[in-house]
Amino acid sequence: MGKTLTAFSETDSAPTVRVSGDAERFARAHGLWDSLADIEALILRSDPRVVLAVDVGLVSDPEIGDRFVIGFNIRTDKAVTDVLAFDETLQQATYDKVPMEHQARFAVRFDFV
């Protein structure tokens, strides 16, 4: 199941956000749903020109063993320098908005298309 959302910005394009059913269930079961929604909103507001689409799914993090995290896979066609600036803004906004104990349960990655 899962959800598909479309965000509207000042630009003509509207990035699509797809949240997998596994990610939704995991977020709700672990009290992370509000933080997931906050990060999603931050991604879409940080610089909407960078984001083509976002897929949110449950992923295992090999650095921490069998622990699962909610991954935001951001598709972009912008230059690496633009994405690095976007990532820095997003990291600071996430640090300011999302509770510290929730931050380790989320990961962001970029796919260049």
CATH of domain 2-112: 3.30.300
Please tell me the distance from the alpha carbon of residue 40 to that of residue 65, in angstroms, as a whole number: 25
Residue 81, CB-side half-sphere exposure with 13 Å CA sphere: 0
8 A C-beta contact, residue 20 and residue 28: no
Contacts of 68 (CB under 8 A, 6+ apart): 26, 58, 59, 60, 61
Q: What is the pTM of this model?
A: 0.86
Domain spans, the chain: 2-112
What are the CA-CA distances from residue 59 to residues 62, 71, 77, 105 (Å)? 9, 6, 23, 10
**1 or 110, higher pLDDT:** 110
Q: What is the pLDDT of residues 61-111, one digit of tens each?
A: 677 777 899 999 999 999 999 999 999 999 999 999 999 999 999 999 999
Q: What is the pLDDT of residues 35-74, one digit of tens each?
A: 999 999 999 998 888 999 999 999 986 777 778 999 999 9
